[in-house]
Amino acid sequence: METFVVLTFILGYVAITMEHTLKIDKLIPALLMMSLCWAAIAFGIDDVTSWFNPSSTKLLTGAELGDKHHLLEETLLHHFGKTAEILIFLMGAMAIVEMIDHFDGFSAIKKMIRTNSKILLLWIISFLAFFLSSIIDNLTATIVLITILRKIISGNTDRMWFSGLIIIAANAGGAWTPIGDVTTTMLWMAGKVTTAKLCLLLGIPSLLNILVPLIVASFMPIFKGTAESIQDTEKTNKHAVFMLVLGLLLVVFVPIFKTITHLPPYIGMMLSLALFSIVAEYLSHRQIKLTFGGGDEAPDGHGPTLKALSKIELPSVLFFLGILMTVAAMESLGLIFTFGQNVSAVIPETTFVTLLGISSAIIDNVPLVAASIGMFTDSPDANVWHLIAYAAGTGGSMLIIGSAAGVVAMGMEKISFGWYLKHITLLATLGYFAGIGAFLLLS
């Protein structure tokens, strides 16, 4: 059974990485391997000799297993509950971002950029990506900044270079806050890291991750001179700035709410979504509704809340469900825990996590972090958890396919894998190891 589960995961993951070749959306193999893995466990539960208890984080054997069928149901419910918390949290954050965009909130950022000097523009755009991705997710920050870039710079080659640095900045910015990257959010919601120590330990390493590439890039010929600017003729929504600031503040409020109440983060995110929806509906002069209307009512008849909810990327949500629950299946059989113990006996944790970050440039960082949560038994806020957050969050910048930010930039600006490898990979690698060095010195 264990062999079947591992092979199913490997084959499913290969199908995910070959999404474009197979022309099958990655959520399909993710959901398929999740279902097959848990079905295999259910059929072979009577033959299970060891089981990893997620509540006690201990490997149960022999008489400790007790009623195996009850243990399976209990473990499955536990993992689904924890996964659902992450997904609901992400959906709330996505909805707030969509409502900010509904009021043209992000276009207000473009109005603040008044220069066409390439070097100055590079630093402004990169720091905007860094700080914006620390509040909203790095994927959305990348989309917003490249969209803004398209309205500022006309040259395609210039935009490709700028986009490369945006990818590095967005991934670096997402690593040092609990709401900036899905993997950091996973560690935070699993109780492995706290907001204060995460920001304290990863703030400087994440900043160096983008500072080093920026300093090197500033001496490159491509960033000399001025950019060919585009005349701005768009009108901004009168509520744009207000809704941008309010939305970002409400997202930042979520970790504060968790610290005060000790409730799961998704509760705070739902509160922020509700408050933001009230303001959005009021400003839209519409009646507040939180459920879809019946009959043949047109989509345009809905207020900004329902429009935002309808734009949430459900395929991404289901993909995360499939990946996280598949990793949970392997964790339940004790495979990940045993692997972690074997690796720790051979190489130091720091070296292993550094290599994990490098591998995240090829392998999706979501399953890597999900596996590491079940692999290490260190106490909450131990250095290894923060190093995992940094490595998994920023290591993907080394290849354009290594992060969601890179993939979306690849599509928006038609950046090829080879071009990125030739021009940006070295910059990203320098930033990655500079951050690793800073973390080791600080910790």
Please state the rounded mean pLDDT for residues 117-128.
91
What integer is the mean pLDDT of 269-286? 87
Q: Answer whether 106's CB lies under 8 Å from 100's CB.
A: yes
Q: Which residue has the higher pLDDT, 341 or 240?
A: 240
| Within a domain: 157 | yes
Residue 234: the pLDDT is 61
Whether the predicted pLDDT of 232 surpasses 50: yes
pLDDT at 341 over 60: yes
Total domains in the fold of the chain: 1
pLDDT for 235 equals 67
Question: Does a structural domain hold residue 428?
Answer: no
356 within a domain of the structure (yes/no): no
For the ranges 31-45, 93-107, 221-235, which has the lowest average pLDDT? 221-235
Name which of 411, 406, 431 is nearest 170 in CA terms: 406
Amino acid 298: pLDDT? 41
Angle at 17 between CA 11 and CA 19, to 5 degrees: 100
Q: What does DSSP assign to residue 117?
A: B
Whether 395 maps to a domain, the answer reads no
What letters, b where the CB count within 10 A reaches 16 and e where it falls short, cover 259-283? Answer: eeeeebbbbbbbbbbeebbebbbeb
Say how far apart CA 376 and CA 338 lie, in whole Å. Answer: 10
Amino acid 288: pLDDT: 47
Residue 118 resides in a domain: yes
Task: For residues 334-342, give the mean pLDDT.
Answer: 79
Task: Report if residue 159 sits inside a domain.
Answer: yes
% pLDDT > 70, the chain:
93
Instruction: Give domain status of residue 372, yes or no.
Output: no
DSSP 443: -
DSSP characters over 211-276: HHHHHHHTTSGGGSSB--B----PPPPTTHHHHHHHHHHHHHHHHHHHHHH---HHHHHHHHHHHH
pTM listed for this prediction: 0.77
Question: Which pLDDT tens digit goes with each residue over 131-188?
Answer: 989 988 787 788 888 888 887 887 788 889 999 999 999 999 999 999 888 889 889 9
Question: pLDDT-derived band of residue 61, with 50, 70 and 90 as boundaries?
Answer: confident
| Mean local confidence (pLDDT), 17-43 | 87
Q: Which domain holds residue 192?
A: 88-310
Residue 369: is its pLDDT beyond 80? yes
Q: Residue 122: inside a domain, yes or no? A: yes
